[in-house]
Amino acid sequence: MMNPDPYDTQIPEEIYFLCMLHNIGATKPENSLSVDEISLRTAMHPLDVEENLRKLIEARYVEASLVSGIKKYYVTVDGIRKVLSMYS
């Protein structure tokens, strides 16, 4: 029986996605992005983007706002803290 490697941890997909949102700058309402914009910048299918956003909204790491009738998303302060905690 092998001992599990403590450094071999899998990051949940939605948390990896949260890091991508943070890295592309969607970190405040004025920098929020639509599903299509996120899909383009992350090279992810829009349905996968929507599923990850749903999970992150439930966790309060992402919020949505309506801009000119288009739903846009950005990382909340709690989401930013979550991303930064991964580096410490």
Residue boundaries of the structural domains of the chain: 13-85
Buried b or exposed e, range 71-86, using 16+ CB within 10 angstroms: ebbbbbeebbebbeee
Q: Does domain 13-85 have CATH number 1.10.10.10?
A: yes
Q: Say whether pLDDT at 88 is over 80.
A: no
Q: Say whether pLDDT at 69 is over 60.
A: yes
The pLDDT score that the predictor gives to residue 4 is: 56
The pLDDT score that the predictor gives to residue 87 is: 80
